[in-house]
Amino acid sequence: MNDKRRISILGATGSIGQSTIDLIARAPESYDVVALTGGRNVAALARDAIALNADVAVVAEDSALPALREALAGSGIEAAAGRAALIEAAQRPADWVMSAIVGAAGLEPGLRALQGGAALALANKESMVCAGPLMMQTARDGQGTLLPVDSEHSAVFQALIGEDLTAVERIVITASGGAFRDWPLEDLEKATPAQAATHPNWDMGQRITIDSASMFNKALELIETKEFFGIDPGMIETVVHPESMIHALVGFNDGALMAHVGMPDMRHAIGFALHYPERRALPVERLDLVTLGQMTFRPACEMRWPALRLAREVMETGGLSGAVFNAAKETALDGFIEGRISFPRMAGVVEEALTRFSATGGLIDAEVTLDNVAHADHLARQHASEIMRDGP
Ligand code: NDP
C-alpha cells in the first residue's frame, strides 16, 4: 500500500511556497507531489518540479508555456499554463494542499482544492477576507479541512486547542509595525516602494512586505481572524510588538493570556499545518529568552496606519465589503509600486472605493459566492483605478 501523502503547492515559486518545499524536500520519501504551480517564474518551477518529481507543473502566465515545456523536456512531468490549467491542477486529488498564491487570484484554486476534500493549508489570507463565509461553509460541509498558515492565525489556532471558544474574551494579533514604524508621519509622503519592501523581521514576498509597512497586511489579518474563528470584531485587538516573537495571544474569561512565542520563521506555521494534528520536530531556530532580553509593545496608532480603522469598518459591514477592500487595496498597491500614488494615498484610495461601492445599492449585502466576489472585485478595481486617475 502507498502511504505517502499526496501534496500540491499552489504558489510554489513564492516565499511561502519555497519554505513549504524546504520542509517537503527534507522527507521526500513521505510525499507524492501532485501539482506545483507558479505565476511566471518558469526556472524555479521547473527546478522544483524535477527535484520533487511532481506529476504536473503549471504557470499562470500563458505565454510561459513553451519555456516551461522546454525546461521540463525529458523529465516526464506534465507542463501546463493559464488560469484554467491552474484550477484543474488545484482540483487533482490530494491529501494536503498549500494555498500560497498571492492576492485574490488565490481564492478559486484554494476553494476548489477544499471542495475536492483536501486539507487546505491557507497562507492566502485574501481567501478569507474576500470569501470567508464561503470558505468556512465549504469546510463545515465536510468537503475538506482548513488549516491556518498565517503565523498569527496558526498561533491562535494552537492556543485554542482543547479550549472552549465561549471562554475566549479577546484575541490579540501582534504587528511588527513594518518598515516605517519609527518614521516621522510627515516623511511617509516621500516613502519609496524599495524602502517599504524592506521588512525589519520577516523575509517575505514584495507585496506582503509593503502591506506590512502600511498595515494593510494586519488589516487583512484582523478580517481573517473574524472569519476564521467566528468571533465578534470587538474582541479582536492589535498591538505593535517590534520584536515579532509573540505571534498572537488569546485571552480567556479567567484573565489568562495564552501567547504563542517563537522565532519569526514561517516554517513553523507551515510545518504545524503539514503535520497537523501531530506536533513534529521542525528545523526552526529555537528562541533564547535571555539573549532576547526583552519584548516591547506599543499601541497600533490608526493615524499612522489608517488601514486598521478601515478593517474595523469592513468587519462590521461584512458581506462583500472584504472583497472590495482587498481589490481596492491590491489596485492601490500596484499604483504605489508603479509610482503613480504616494504611500499614504493607498489608504485614501481604498476608503474612497469602499464609499463608492457602498453607494451602489445593495451590492455589498449580496451573498458571498464565487461569482459575486468576482463581480465585487472587478468593480472595486475599476473604482480604485478611477480614483487614482482623478487624483486626491
Ligand atoms: P510571493 O509574492 O513570494 O509569491 C506569490 C506566489 O504566487 C508565487 O508563486 C507567484 O508566482 C504566484 N502568483 C502571483 N500571481 C499569480 C497569479 N495571478 N496566478 C497564479 N499564481 C500567481 O508571496 P508570499 O509567498 O509572500 O505570499 C503568498 C501568500 O501567503 C499571500 O497571500 C500572503 O499574504 C500570504 N502570507 C505570506 C507570508 C510570508 O511570510 N511570505 C506570511 C503569511 C501569509 P511567480 O513568483 O512565479 O510569479
Predicted pLDDT at 325: 98
Predicted pLDDT at 390: 86
Atom of ligand 1 nearest to the CA of 45: 47
Shortest CA distance to 193 belongs to which of 335, 341, 336? Answer: 336
Fold classification of 154-264+300-390 (topology level): Rna Polymerase Sigma Factor; Chain: A (1.10.1740)
Predicted pLDDT at 202: 76
Q: What percent of the chain has pLDDT over 70?
A: 99
Query: Given ligand 1 and candidates 61, 102, 174, which is best to mutate, with the most ligand atoms within 8 Å of its CB?
Result: 102
pTM: 0.96
Q: 119 C-alpha vs ligand 1 centroid, how far in Å?
A: 19
Q: Is the per-residue pLDDT at 213 higher than 70?
A: yes
Predicted pLDDT at 2: 66
The CA distances from residue 140 to 8, 136, 274, 315, in Å, are: 22, 6, 20, 21
Predicted pLDDT at 142: 85
Cell 463608492 sits at which residue? 356
Determine contact, residues 239/299, Cβ cutoff 8 Å: yes
Give the C-alpha separation, 105 to 108, whole Å: 7
Shortest CA distance to 71 belongs to which of 90, 89, 58? Answer: 58
Alpha-carbon dihedral 146, 12, 385, 342, rounded to 10 degrees: 100
Determine contact, residues 309/317, Cβ cutoff 8 Å: no
Q: 37 C-alpha vs ligand 1 centroid, how far in Å?
A: 11
Give the C-alpha separation, 22 to 12, whole Å: 11
Predicted pLDDT at 65: 98
Tell me the average pLDDT across 189-195: 96
Amino acid, res. 156: V
Q: How many Cα neighbours within 13 Å face the side chain of 361?
A: 0
Tell me the average pLDDT across 179-187: 95
> Model confidence at 203, in pLDDT bands (50, 70, 90)?
confident
Query: Given ligand 1 and candidates 9, 10, 16, which is best to mutate, with the most ligand atoms within 8 Å of its CB?
Result: 16
Average pLDDT in the chain: 96
Tens-place pLDDT, residues 61-109: 999 999 999 999 999 999 999 999 999 999 999 999 999 999 999 999 9
The CB of 41 under 6 Å from ligand 1? The reply is yes
Tell me the average pLDDT across 349-369: 87
Cell 475566549 sits at which residue? 168
Tens-place pLDDT, residues 341-356: 999 999 999 999 999 9
Q: Is the per-residue pLDDT at 360 higher than 80?
A: no
Residues 6+ apart with CB under 8 A from 6: 31, 32, 34, 93, 94, 95, 96
Tens-place pLDDT, residues 240-251: 999 999 999 999
Q: Is the per-residue pLDDT at 1 higher than 60?
A: no
Please report which helix (H) or strand (E) contains residue 331, including its range: helix 321-337
Q: 163 C-alpha vs ligand 1 centroid, how far in Å?
A: 32
Amino acid, res. 137: Q
> Model confidence at 358, in pLDDT bands (50, 70, 90)?
confident
Atom of ligand 1 nearest to the CA of 202: 40
The CB of 13 under 6 Å from ligand 1? The reply is yes
Determine contact, residues 220/155, Cβ cutoff 8 Å: no
Predicted pLDDT at 14: 96
115 three-class SS: helix
> Model confidence at 391, in pLDDT bands (50, 70, 90)?
confident
Determine contact, residues 152/262, Cβ cutoff 8 Å: no
Amino acid, res. 388: M
The CB of 130 under 6 Å from ligand 1? The reply is no
The CA distances from residue 383 to 8, 202, 327, 376, in Å, are: 35, 32, 10, 10
Tens-place pLDDT, residues 254-275: 999 999 999 999 999 999 999 9
What are the boundaries of each domain within the chain? 5-148, 154-264+300-390
Q: Is the per-residue pLDDT at 361 higher than 80?
A: no
Q: Is the per-residue pLDDT at 392 higher than 80?
A: no
Predicted pLDDT at 278: 96
Predicted pLDDT at 199: 83
- Of 98-107, 156-165, 359-368, 370-379, give the lowest mean pLDDT range: 359-368
Tell me the average pLDDT across 285-310: 97
Q: How many C-beta atoms lie closer than 10 Å to residue 242's C-beta?
A: 18
Domain 5-148 class, CATH top level: alpha beta
